[in-house]
């Protein structure tokens, strides 16, 4: 039975590297994968980019109002040069598993909760496994809506670990502008224009000026 997997971790925990390795493993066995990331993630533009220097062009860029399941059907069936019969697309739904073996999502925190539900439909209705990679919380320790929904409904949760500057396990993603940590601002600010991120343990996050707050 297909499952929805959420593999999460702080920045620099190897999420994109793991995704690219998974894609390679599938394709090495002659299986077909579909790589997806959100338009809002402008880092690398239409590529999944690993911090180790490995990259690969994605198959789909999705916006917040896109129907993710419909796009997956359209892309996968088009790639297989299949034309679904019937006005309701029911034959296309039935055939998806014949032309696609896995869906891979990079930076899954940027999906909407509805799009995460659409991923679950791909798993439950179409019997295609979905592996989503992302971070749980933003630089203020507040969960991203997409990550929160994945934590609520995914069949399998796997934490990818990395370390803080002090050697402890890093769990938070601290934002820096230049050399200074900042703890106010928009939830999404991609690495650019002097904005960078550092993975910190809880103790170092508080020492840097961070706050633990649900607000």
Q: How far from the centroid of its chain's Cα atoms is residue 184's Cα?
A: 24
Catalytic residue among 27, 28, 98, 107: 107
Annotated catalytic, 28? no
Q: Are 170 and 164 in contact (CB under 8 A)?
A: yes
Which residues, 6 or more positions from 187, have their beta carbon under 8 angstroms from its beta carbon?
138, 140, 142, 144
Three state DSSP letters for the chain: CCCEEEEECCCCCCHHHHHHHHHHHHHHCCCCEEEEEECCCCCCCCEEECCCCCEEECCEEECCCCCHHHHHHHHHHHHCCCCCCCCCCHHHHHHHHHHCCEEEEECHHHCCHHHHHHHHHHHHCCCCCEEEEECCECCCCCECHHHHHHHHHCCEEEECCCECCCCCECCEEEEEECCEEECCCCCCCCCECCEEEEEECHHHHHHCCCCCCCC
The whole-angstrom separation of Cα 9 and Cα 187 is: 17
Binding site membership: which residues? 197
Return binding residues for substrate.
Answer: 197
- Active-site positions read 107
């Amino acid at each position: 039975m297909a499952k929805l997997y959420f593999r999460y971790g702080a920045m620099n925990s190897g999420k994109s590297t793991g995704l690219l390795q998974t894609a390679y493993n599938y394709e090495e066995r002659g299986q077909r994968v579909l790589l997806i990331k959100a338009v809002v993630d402008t880092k690398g533009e239409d590529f999944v980019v690993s911090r180790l220097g490995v990259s690969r062009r994605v198959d789909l860029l999705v916006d917040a109002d896109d129907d993710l399941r419909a796009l997956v059907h359209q892309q996968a069936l088009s790639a297989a040069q299949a034309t679904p019969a019937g006005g309701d697309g029911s034959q296309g739904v039935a055939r998806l598993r014949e032309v696609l073996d896995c869906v891979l999502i990079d930076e899954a925190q940027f999906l909407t909760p509805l799009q995460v539900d659409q991923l679950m439909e791909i798993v439950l209705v179409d019997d295609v496994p979905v592996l989503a990679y992302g971070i749980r919380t933003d630089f203020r320790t507040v969960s991203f809506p997409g990550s929160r929904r994945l934590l609520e409904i995914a069949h399998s949760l796997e934490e990818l670990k990395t370390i803080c500057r002090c050697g402890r396990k890093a769990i938070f993603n601290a934002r820096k502008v230049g050399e200074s940590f900042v703890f106010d601002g928009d939830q999404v600010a991609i690495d650019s224009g002097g904005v960078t991120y550092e993975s910190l343990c809880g103790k170092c996050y508080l020492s840097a000026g961070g706050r633990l707050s649900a607000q």
